[in-house]
């Protein structure tokens, strides 16, 4: 009996070590962009952005609304070819993750946006803030041609099935990959969109990272575990 228990514990230990090694390999090359304590390295309107309980906290109230969409901008540099990973939780309202975007001043941003909301049918789509608007819905493979025409060329699946694991008002996980003119977004491990952007006037091959609070009714959105990996050729 003791020998069987010893063997079982040894096997369990080997499995744990293997899983730990895989997790470490999976995170290799990633750099944390948020220290979990304060907004060092980030820039946003302090009326709406803070750190609470170790996470980035964005909030508007009836007494303190935002007159337009406002953003928390990462000031650590620009994004070119990369994999971005983060977790988000939204109680109400609408938000997004801006990547390869442009800083317009006064905490205004334009560019690619990974949608953050509590609608399983739409969370995970790709939007162009202050630009071409909806680029790819959940489940779509899209190509934008040289003239800016948006064409759905394939399917990744149905939105309801892709986002079946989405947890409203709880933590969910984004993985965003941008390489050249191709952008892919994953939500809780499932790919939501695949875009090839051949539009020289509308696309961006590099830009800033920012987090959004959308204008409108009072809302709360939070972010944590923000990590970035540069992708090299």
pLDDT of the chain, 233 residues: tens digit per residue: 454 444 444 444 544 444 444 444 688 999 999 999 999 999 999 999 999 999 999 999 999 999 999 999 999 999 999 999 999 999 999 999 999 999 999 999 999 999 999 999 999 999 999 999 999 999 999 999 999 999 999 999 999 999 999 999 999 999 999 999 999 999 999 999 999 999 999 999 999 999 999 999 999 999 999 999 999 87
- pTM value is 0.89
Write out the two tokens for 63: 């007494």
Range list of H helices, the chain: 2-26, 159-162
| Positive or negative torsion for Cα 79, 93, 186, 228 | positive
């Amino acid at each position: 009996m003791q020998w069987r228990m010893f063997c079982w514990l040894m096997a369990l230990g080997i499995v744990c070590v293997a899983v730990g090694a895989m997790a470490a390999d999976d995170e290799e090359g990633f750099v944390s962009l948020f220290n979990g304590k304060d907004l060092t390295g980030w820039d946003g309107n302090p009326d709406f952005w803070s750190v609470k309980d170790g996470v980035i906290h964005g909030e508007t109230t009836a007494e303190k609304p935002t007159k337009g969409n406002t953003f928390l901008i990462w000031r650590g540099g620009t994004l070119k070819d990369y994999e971005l990973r983060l977790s988000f939780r939204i109680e109400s309202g609408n938000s997004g993750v801006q990547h390869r975007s442009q800083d317009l001043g006064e905490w205004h941003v334009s560019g690619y946006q990974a949608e953050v909301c509590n609608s399983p049918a739409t969370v995970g789509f790709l939007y162009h803030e202050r630009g071409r608007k909806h680029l790819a819905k959940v489940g779509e493979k899209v190509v934008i041609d040289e003239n800016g025409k948006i064409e759905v060329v394939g399917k990744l699946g149905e939105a309801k099935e892709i986002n079946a694991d989405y947890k409203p008002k709880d933590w969910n996980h984004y993985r965003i990959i941008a390489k050249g003119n191709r952008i892919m977004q994953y939500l809780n491990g499932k790919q939501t969109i695949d875009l090839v952007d051949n539009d020289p006037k509308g696309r961006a091959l590099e830009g800033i990272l920012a987090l959004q609070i959308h204008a409108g009714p009072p809302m709360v959105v939070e972010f944590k575990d923000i990590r970035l990996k540069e992708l090299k050729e």
